[in-house]
Amino acid sequence: MFIVENYLTAVIFCFITMLCWGSWANTQKLVQKTWRFELFYWDYVIGIFLFSLAAALTLGSFGSEGRPFIEDLRQAKTSNMLSAIAGGVVFNLANILLTAAIAGAGMAVAFPIGIGIALVLGVVLNYFLMDKGDPVLLFMGVLFVTLAIILNAVAYRRSSPKQQSSGSKWIIVSVIAGVLMSMFYGFVASSMDLENFKEPTAGMMTPYTAVVVFSVGILLSNVVFNSILLKRPLEGKPIAYSQYFKGKIRWHSIGVLGGCIWALGNVFNLIAAGKAGPAISYGLGQGATLIAALWGVLIWKEFKNSPKSVTGLIVAMFCCFIIGLGLIIYSGGS
């Protein structure tokens, strides 16, 4: 299987993760005027599973190092498989709430608040899982990201004073999504032998096997979570399952593409975790907040016609994110 050999390559892979995790939501934005997010999300989840399986059967099966996917799956302990599945369940609940917040408040709000909180809490949790990196620099980076989250929330409240109740709802949904999102990575990482991908401990999984089992958790839990949302949506009228099958092929394809983009980032992130450590790998991946905010502000114009004071807050938010991410990167190489 393909294995990352050095820290620089791991950082590059984490940057690719950042781009993928920060960009997949554009697919949801492309169809949100004609296709409810609950329906989009089914295709998104299918895309995650299909891409994860394809990666395991190719990158995870070729080469002379490490255990190939099928062999690794057969020897994996049930406890480790359940851990990865649990990670998928937690991630799915968090991501459904995040996707709802994106539909309700936009990428420039939901991502910095939701994924920003996930970054802060996730870095702390994953650092204790495997303490790679300078803790002072790492947590200074987390502090700047926290400040960026606060600035973003203030900017959103000032930009839409006429929608305070609705705005508060989506901020709360984003916060809940962020707290849940911070937990999933630890479940998946603990199912793998992060110290040795070449000769992993018996019973533990390689990253490629872990992402497949993780995606099964997402797929299975979506039957429960998304079914509930179809009947009791956070916004709008209930939706019948039959509407999914009436969707245009283009709409379904865009949803699957969104899932593939996210899954590519997830595969690269877990591959990089062996060299960078889970805290840094996860932290850089969740730098997707910066990418998503750029999409929301520059492309989707989500803060258009806002007061001038909001512009200053947005600029300060980007600066804090950049400084925070820079410190997280440097903490791993110091």
End-to-end CA distance of the chain: 29
What pLDDT band is residue 278 in, cutting at 50, 70 and 90?
confident
Instruction: Flag whether 45 is in a domain.
Output: yes
Question: Which of 328, 302, 314 lies closest to 104, judged by CA?
Answer: 302
Instruction: Flag whether 2 is in a domain.
Output: no
Instruction: Flag whether 212 is in a domain.
Output: yes
What pLDDT band is residue 140 in, cutting at 50, 70 and 90?
very high
More confident residue, 57 or 283: 57
The pTM of the full predicted model, rounded to 2 decimals, is 0.85
Instruction: Flag whether 79 is in a domain.
Output: yes
Burial of 161 (0-12, 13-18, 19+ CB in 10 A): exposed
Q: Give the count of domains, the chain.
A: 1
Instruction: Flag whether 184 is in a domain.
Output: yes
Instruction: Report whether 49 contacts 213 (CB < 8 A).
Output: no
More confident residue, 287 or 248: 248
Q: Answer whether residue 238 shows pLDDT above 90.
A: yes
What pLDDT band is residue 109 in, cutting at 50, 70 and 90?
confident
Q: Answer whether residue 165 shows pLDDT above 60.
A: no
Instruction: Flag whether 315 is in a domain.
Output: yes
The label of the residue with tokens 């016609």 reads 305
What pLDDT band is residue 235 in, cutting at 50, 70 and 90?
confident
Residues whose CB is less than 8 angstroms from the CB of residue 188 and which lie 6 or more positions away in sequence, other chains included: 83, 84, 87, 88, 210, 211, 214, 270
What pLDDT band is residue 96 in, cutting at 50, 70 and 90?
very high
Instruction: Flag whether 307 is in a domain.
Output: yes
Average pLDDT over residues 188-209: 92
Mean pLDDT of the chain: 88
Q: Is 173 helix (H, G, I), strand (E, B) or coil?
A: helix
Instruction: Flag whether 1 is in a domain.
Output: no
Average pLDDT over residues 254-277: 93
Q: Where are the alpha helices (DSSP H) in the chain?
A: 7-23, 25-31, 37-57, 69-75, 78-105, 107-110, 116-129, 135-159, 164-189, 207-231, 249-276, 278-285, 288-294, 308-333
Distance CA 83, CA 188 (A): 6
Name the residue range of residue 219's domain: 7-333
Q: Residue 230's pLDDT is what?
A: 93
pLDDT per residue as tens digits for the range 214-225: 999 999 999 999
Residues whose CB is less than 8 angstroms from the CB of residue 78 and which lie 6 or more positions away in sequence, other chains included: none
